[in-house]
């Protein structure tokens, strides 16, 4: 697996068991502080499946990108001007799993909506302005998915299409490339290009496992262009 050829790579053992437990505890504390917040994603029964606007809920989440092995990989790819620009949290709690079809990640969080040219399709998510970013920007960005639980066939692992990051739309992906299932351990980090086509299957209804992931989107520079500003920019260099 390589970022250049496949659009993703796996960094093993970035966080040890103590660091993983600490991150889970910090998330649980943030969730308790912000129960009912519009950014918390939950079902009718109250099972929490994730959160948007993560740095407002949990400011320390962005600092996870400074784990030495992860920081080295991010700076090597993005350069010294890199920063974290958006955070999300995902979970598939036992008994309340969910799935997503094949897709690419197109949107970025900005301070305010503005002129529509290279940036398109304005939306607002949990009170935060978002837009679909131009392909040249997405191709230079990198997402770090920090796993706080083992990812197995039991808890709805991520599937990716190697090489699909080269194409702007899923319809253009190389049909000769077979999907790869991402199975990994708690503490591992998956690096992936936003344009990598990926999907997420349902967890086994009988599983007792969570599938908690801190999703950090990173960009090579604090300048966004076209009069836009990142909603957040946490420098890494």
Tell me: pLDDT of 44 over 80. Answer: no
Domain boundaries, the chain: 3-33+47-235
At 46-82, the pLDDT tens digits run 788 999 999 999 999 999 999 999 999 999 999 999 9
- Model pTM above 0.85: yes
What is the DSSP code string of 6-54? HSEEEETTSS-HHHHHHHHHHHHHHHHHTTT-TTEEE-TT--EEEESSH
The pLDDT value recorded for residue 140 is: 97
184 three-state secondary structure: strand
Select from 2.70.150.10, 3.10.580.10, 3.40.190.10, 2.60.120.620 the CATH code of 3-33+47-235: 2.60.120.620
| Pairwise CA distance, residues 100 & 106, whole Å | 15
């Amino acid at each position: 697996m390589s970022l250049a050829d496949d659009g993703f790579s796996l960094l093993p053992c970035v966080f040890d068991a103590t660091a993983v437990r600490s991150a889970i505890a910090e998330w649980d504390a943030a969730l308790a502080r912000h129960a009912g917040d519009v950014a918390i994603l939950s079902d009718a029964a109250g099972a929490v499946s994730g959160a948007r606007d993560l740095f407002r809920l949990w400011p320390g989440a962005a600092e996870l990108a400074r784990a030495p092995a992860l920081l080295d990989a991010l700076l090597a790819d993005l350069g010294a001007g890199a920063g974290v620009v958006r955070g999300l949290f995902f979970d598939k709690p036992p008994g309340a799993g969910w799935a997503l079809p094949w897709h690419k990640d197109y949107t970025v969080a900005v301070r305010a909506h503005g002129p529509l040219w290279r940036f398109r399709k304005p939306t607002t998510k949990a009170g935060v302005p978002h837009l679909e970013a131009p392909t040249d920007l997405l191709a230079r960005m990198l997402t770090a998915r920090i796993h706080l639980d083992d990812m197995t066939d039991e808890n709805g692992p991520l599937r990716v299409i190697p090489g699909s990051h080269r194409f702007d739309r899923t319809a253009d992906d190389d049909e000769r490339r077979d999907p790869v299932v991402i199975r990994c351990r708690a503490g591992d980090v998956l690096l992936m290009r936003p344009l990598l086509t990926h999907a997420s299957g349902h967890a086994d209804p009988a599983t007792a496992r969570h599938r908690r992931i801190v999703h950090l989107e990173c960009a090579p520079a604090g300048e966004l262009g076209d009069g836009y500003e990142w909603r957040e920019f946490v420098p890494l260099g």
